[in-house]
Structure 1
């Protein structure tokens, strides 16, 4: 570092992907600044699964240990604030925080995640990540065999229901209005004894995020212990696109196998650049981004 505000790499986002990138860079003797707002997307999730050696631990516990291990590398620094802007310069990238601080990084890694756009249904947001779930591979085992709802319609609901049927036989699709299924899909649902509720949803009945029933505007309700929803999303941070990073038709930051974006010197990892939303995958992509950025820095010195 030339001074305290210049780093080899600035990482925006300090959850699993960002911390993994920082560890790889710290072990490569590169100076790293991790910037994080402290609001990870899984902050409501009580337990994390499918991550070897950490199965069943809380996300907070995993992140705390990870941060301690990463900051043991002397070239890694952490700053808790939200990034307001990032600009390409001749020497790299200037990053400005909401608090006014400015830093220069020769390379930039976005580990900023995505933001789910949930239906405007009372109680749903409070249950998100606790009992209203996005992934059976992350949470399905804990709710196996219980009454479960799918909060989608049409082809999406049909696909999700076929998948969730592996974890429970007690399954109902809540379409929140007229169902949109083909004749073949209706036949399949009937054969599999998967119910369909077409009434409009009023609210989610829950106790501290644990769902107990879906209540409809017609004053009926369905008791359930879990629900799945495949929700649309948007990038949590608009700066990659502002810098010129190409976005895929699905809404992810476009990357190559080395986590490089379409803008030289900019990398992306974690949920913002692919559909596999799992801690293990975030760690892998973060490690790959850190290795790729360090390799570029090393070769640029020759």
Structure 2
């Protein structure tokens, strides 16, 4: 058996998302002798990054290369791929039906969504061109490469102390940008001053950079602030409406707003539906965590299938051999 692009009408499990969480789930399911379909639109959140970091044995591997390796290691198993989106999904008596982009409707017994989250970037000219290289959202992913450099942070005032506490681990040259009049509480401003964190007021007008490297931040009044790294706490949104269509509960507000509420193992309030990776509120947004979550949810899904099969009456339908 080999991983392929040929499609059955029915699978044991459909995995939506071909990133680390989805491929990890497919690996566990394939090794459990189950028939799996992975649907991959090819839109990974970390695609702009030069490398994946903090993932044992793969530190620094480019995201596209990590996906290639993951797919290659699925070749021995009954894992198929659909190169495209899932445009609809619904719960059925026997599991789920998913509608594939230009490929019809596929039935499955369990459904794993590994669709991730999408960053909503601030509308600042020049930012998008530097995103994932020197404008970053995760110091644990990208901080070591910029250790000791002059940093700036563009964050809401309510997270200023938390952000500064973390970022000072990578650089003691830290500037907090208020992007307008400061709304910092007096105690917070005093803490920042005590820890030599500069506070710069004024609207950020544009970023200056070259070849992916930030060089300066331009503020209103033609002020030019030379910095090499900008940390941005982005807003997040669901890139897929499948969780909502299937009746999942989304977190309404707070730092995990937009994520799906799950239990610690990825299970949702919809029987047979699992959410893994960045889209789940229960996890930590990192490649290593996504891989673990995919593995755990796949194990639970496979056990549920095995349990259902042993409870069928004699002569009932069984999996394809």
TM-score range, shorter chain: over 0.9
Are 2:93 and 1:90 aligned?
Answer: yes
* 1:253 alignment partner, SS class: coil
Distance, in Å, in 1 between the alignment partners of 2:103 and 2:81 is: 16
Which residue of 2 is the match for residue 293 of structure 1? 301
* 1:301 alignment partner, SS class: helix
Q: Kindly report which structure 2 residues correspond to 1:46-65, keeping only aligned pairs within 5 A, or say none.
A: 46-65=50-69
- Does the aligned pair in 2 maintain the 1:153–1:179 contact within 8 Å? no
Are 2:224 and 1:221 aligned?
Answer: yes
* 2:13 alignment partner, SS class: strand
Which residue of 2 is the match for residue 114 of structure 1? 117
Q: Kindly report which structure 2 residues correspond to 1:94-243, keeping only aligned pairs within 5 A, or say none.
A: 94-243=97-246
Which residue of 1 is the match for residue 22 of structure 2? 18
Count of matched residue positions in the alignment of Structure 1 and Structure 2? 299
Q: Deviations over 1:205-257 (max 9, x none)?
A: 12232211111231111111111111111112111111111123433211112
Are 2:75 and 1:68 aligned?
Answer: no
- Deviation (angstroms), 1:92: 1.6
- Does the aligned pair in 2 maintain the 1:71–1:77 contact within 8 Å? no
Taking structure 2 as the reference length, the TM-score comes to 0.90
- Deviation (angstroms), 1:70: 1.6
* 1:227 alignment partner, SS class: strand
Question: Which structure 2 segments of 5+ residues have no match?
Answer: 1-6, 311-321
Select between 246-255 and 264-273 the one with higher mean Cα deviation. Answer: 246-255
Which residue of 2 is the match for residue 38 of structure 1? 42
Taking structure 1 as the reference length, the TM-score comes to 0.96
Select between 25-34 and 87-96 the one with higher mean Cα deviation. Answer: 87-96
* 1:162 alignment partner, SS class: helix
Distance, in Å, in 2 between the alignment partners of 1:262 and 1:124 is: 38
Which residue of 1 is the match for residue 287 of structure 2? 279
CA RMSD of aligned residues (A): 1.3
Select between 207-216 and 248-257 the one with higher mean Cα deviation. Answer: 248-257
* 1:293 alignment partner, SS class: helix
- Does the aligned pair in 2 maintain the 1:118–1:232 contact within 8 Å? yes
Which residue of 1 is the match for residue 260 of structure 2? 253
- Deviation (angstroms), 1:18: 0.2
Distance, in Å, in 1 between the alignment partners of 2:161 and 2:130 is: 22
- Deviation (angstroms), 1:96: 1.0
Distance, in Å, in 2 between the alignment partners of 1:4 and 1:81 is: 16
Distance, in Å, in 1 between the alignment partners of 2:22 and 2:164 is: 33
- Does the aligned pair in 2 maintain the 1:49–1:55 contact within 8 Å? yes
* 1:228 alignment partner, SS class: strand
